[in-house]
A = this chain, B = another copy of it.
């Protein structure tokens, strides 16, 4: 019999004790936020500072984007056939790929290319930004993370950068993203502002995540949204209806603010 013994460094399960990256799960519960637990699970280390809340802000920023994205439509289409929850969620996850969520990973690579160039050539940020825009243009590769079909000033970008600055996370990647935005505007003579994918990319780079993990953040963020769409599809519509991809009207609560409500939830024990 071949020896198939193998090793994992993620978690250890013994009778009545489960360690995640060395920490007891029951000790983590209630003391660590989900965002911190995500950081610990993926990197193996305890967050240094505010990575946990930064991750939560990222997850909230893309938790849902209506019923028109392909992940929502795929999940609803599968749910509509009477499939179980695991099938419908998996279908939504399968639609998170190069053109849907994938811009985060692509933008992280652009930012790394530019920052590496800046470091190695000891150039200014502006020169590095100009170099990366030009080299992508020559290679006929798309610079992802800039511009949006619908949002000309994505409010999520400004907010993510504001939080990243406030929490001491913003650094050279955020600066580089802004420089590329400026270069694109000057070169192409049109506005291609950093979109939410680009902002998430910059912040993930700042926290040291590898581009290969970028899609994972989009998936973690979107699962609650997918579940909400699946649940609404099941409870509000008949099976096998034809699901129009854009003729969709929002009939949820009108715009409301969280200010007074927040107070009530602040009652800490």
User: What is the interface of chain A, defined by CB distance below 8 A to chain B?
Assistant: 1-2, 4-13, 15-38, 41-42, 44, 46-50, 52-53, 56-57, 59-61, 63-68, 70-71, 73-74, 77-78, 80-91, 93-100, 102, 150-156, 158-160, 162-163, 166-168, 212-213, 215-216, 219-220, 223-225, 227-229, 231-232, 234, 237, 239-258, 261-262, 264-265, 267-269
- Enumerate chain B residues within 8 angstroms of A20, measured Cβ to Cβ: 63-64
- Enumerate chain B residues within 8 angstroms of A155, measured Cβ to Cβ: 16-18, 24-26
The 9 sampled A-B contact pairs (Cβ below 8 Å) are A18-B156, A19-B250, A25-B155, A42-B224, A50-B269, A70-B78, A90-B93, A99-B239, A220-B220
Q: Is the CB of A163 within 8 A of B30?
A: yes
CA distance A216 to B93 in the complex (A): 13
CA distance A1 to B81 in the complex (A): 23
A contact patch SS: mixed
CA distance A18 to B16 in the complex (A): 44
Minimum CB distance partner of A253 in chain B: B22
Q: Is the CB of A249 within 8 A of B59?
A: no
A8-B252, A16-B153, A48-B265 known; A81 vs B95 contact (CB < 8 Å): yes
- Enumerate chain B residues within 8 angstroms of A86, measured Cβ to Cβ: 83, 87, 93-97, 215, 219
- Enumerate chain B residues within 8 angstroms of A159, measured Cβ to Cβ: 26, 29-30
A225-B10, A247-B5, A250-B11 known; A78 vs B95 contact (CB < 8 Å): yes
State how many angstroms separate the Cβ of A180 from the closest Cβ of chain B: 21
Between A49, A166, A228, the greatest number of chain B beta carbons within 10 A of the residue's beta carbon is seen for A228
A10-B232, A98-B81, A254-B22 known; A15 vs B65 contact (CB < 8 Å): no
Pick the residue among B41, B73, B252 that contacts A77 (CB under 8 A): B73
Q: Is the CB of B242 within 8 A of A2?
A: yes
